[in-house]
Homo-oligomer: A and B are copies of this chain.
């Protein structure tokens, strides 16, 4: 890739481990004149952005980050917005494009996305192969989405036997949603359904826990975790969770 003046690139840094940051992401950061993002992520990439201008903002200031990035690119600069994981999955790409759309077409800077290894991919790798078949990804955060919409989605995919990947499962302020999700899924799935809980995948403090829908201790889950719930064919294999694609048990047999 080549970043040009007046261009904005939204860069996926991957889950955190430096060896899961792609060469394309590293090149984008090296080429940027100014790097904008959540202050907590700069430590991951300090050598790549050393000496560059930066706008580091706290969690919660996503709109301000996107606005600053569009302003800087509009002023003719080469701008990188950093995002953990993949920018397209509950991260910065959507908001940057939404705000880009509010600009008059002539004032919209060139824009592109560098994909990354998402937390979804990272958590699945540590659990074995939980996403081996069709799956649904749902955020349990009702800060931006009405809770009834989230409930409807959980029930729909639980009934249709999708593997579920739950993002933002629990925080200090949002302490009941994961319990409620578990109850909704239990209405459609056995308590023996395998559940994997991965915290801080490929970061310091990484935790990987394998349990069941019936036994899971939701109080131990925090906002840095991803919760994976197997489908009716998922099973435990050693300390892993495996959802078969069907090669060994073909359709109709």
Interface pair B117/A86, CB less than 8 Å apart: yes
Indicate if A116 sits at the interface (CB-CB under 8 A).
yes
Indicate if A30 sits at the interface (CB-CB under 8 A).
no
Chain A 207-232 residues near chain B, CB threshold 8 A = none
Chain A 75-97 residues near chain B, CB threshold 8 A = 86-90, 93-97
Indicate if A238 sits at the interface (CB-CB under 8 A).
yes
Would you give the shortest CB distance from A184 to chain B, in whole angstroms?
A: 12
- Contact for A22 among B21, B105, B131, CB less than 8 A: B21
Interface pair B247/A101, CB less than 8 Å apart: no
Check A133/B116 contact, CB under 8 A, given A22-B22, A94-B242, A248-B98.
no
Q: Identify the closest chain B residue to A156 (Cβ).
A: B160
Check A153/B162 contact, CB under 8 A, given A20-B115, A22-B14, A98-B244.
yes
Would you give the shortest CB distance from A60 to chain B, in whole angstroms?
A: 11
Q: Mark A112-125, 1 if CB is under 8 A from B, else 0.
A: 11111110011011
Interface pair B88/A131, CB less than 8 Å apart: yes
Number of copies: 2
Give the CA-CA distance A143 to B253 in the complex, in Å: 12
- Contact for A152 among B23, B111, B142, B160, CB less than 8 A: B160
Indicate if A134 sits at the interface (CB-CB under 8 A).
yes
Q: Which 3 A-B pairs have the closest CB atoms?
A: A94-B132, A144-B246, A156-B160
Extra inter-chain contacts (16) besides given A89-B121, A157-B160, CB under 8 Å: A63-B247, A86-B124, A88-B125, A88-B131, A93-B128, A94-B244, A97-B240, A98-B247, A99-B248, A100-B237, A108-B238, A116-B117, A133-B145, A136-B157, A137-B137, A144-B245
Show the binding face of A for B, using Cβ within 8 Å.
1, 12, 14-15, 17-24, 27, 62-63, 86-90, 93-101, 105, 108, 111-118, 121-122, 124-126, 128-139, 142-146, 149-150, 152-153, 155-157, 159-162, 235, 237-238, 240, 242-248, 250-252
What are 18 of the A-B contact pairs (CB < 8 Å)? A1-B19, A19-B24, A21-B22, A22-B22, A87-B125, A97-B128, A98-B244, A98-B245, A113-B126, A115-B124, A117-B121, A118-B118, A134-B137, A142-B251, A143-B250, A144-B247, A145-B251, A156-B160
